[in-house]
Amino acid sequence: MSDDGLSINGPKSVGQSLLLFLLALGLVGYGAVDYVQSTAAVRESVETEATITEVGVETESSRTGTGSNVRYEPVVTFTYTYDGETYTGNDVFPGSVPTRYETESAARSAVAEYESGTTTTAYVDPDDPETAFLKDQTSNRQLSFVGVGLVLALFGGFFTVRNYRREHG
């Protein structure tokens, strides 16, 4: 506790501590499941021809306590045919966690090989042909969720024990 009234003592009750712990475990689970699913998607996907219809970069801004944060997400929209059905996709990488970059130039370079109107290879999940992506590689971006979740779970566990001891003598 500092003299200016700022408290960094964490959750004040067992219930709050358990909530932090459970939310952290959810974050770990989400990241781990998405990583496993992305790895399986790369391993089990089949190639098909795709036509690029749009290439660009979306800007995402958010405000934090210390200022604003801008991230850039590469966007490629493409059409492809699998088993006689035509689909539209927009995932560059497999998984549900989008890849974002600190700079617009980094995001543009991630999709520099794609140009509207050209054909390329897309990778399709044969069990779910509505799911396709362009880069047949996994990313460690989901593991950042696992790492943050583990750190928060440690804090949540610590505060749960501390608050339990405080409340139950």
Could you state, in order of their start, the residue ranges of all structural domains in the chain? 12-43+141-169, 46-135
CA distance 167 to 13: 8
What amino acid is encoded at 91 in this protein? Answer: D
If you average pLDDT over residues 110-130, what whole number do you get? 94
Instruction: Tell me the CATH number for domain 46-135.
Output: 2.40.50
- The pLDDT value recorded for residue 64 is 65
Q: Cβ-count burial of 99 within 10 angstroms (0-12 exposed, 13-18 middle, 19+ buried)?
A: middle
If you average pLDDT over residues 81-109, what whole number do you get? 89
CA distance 131 to 133: 7
Q: Does residue 119 register a pLDDT over 50?
A: yes
CA distance 26 to 150: 10
What is the chain's Cα-based Rg?
21
Least confident of 5-9, 31-35, 54-58, 106-110: 5-9
If you average pLDDT over residues 8-14, what whole number do you get? 79
Q: What does residue 54 show for φ and ψ, rounded to 5 degrees?
A: -160, 140
pLDDT band of residue 93 (cuts 50, 70, 90) is: confident
Is residue 141 within 8 A of residue 74, CB to CB? The reply is: no
Model confidence, pTM: 0.67
Q: What mean pLDDT is reported for the chain?
A: 85
**SS3 state at 95:** coil
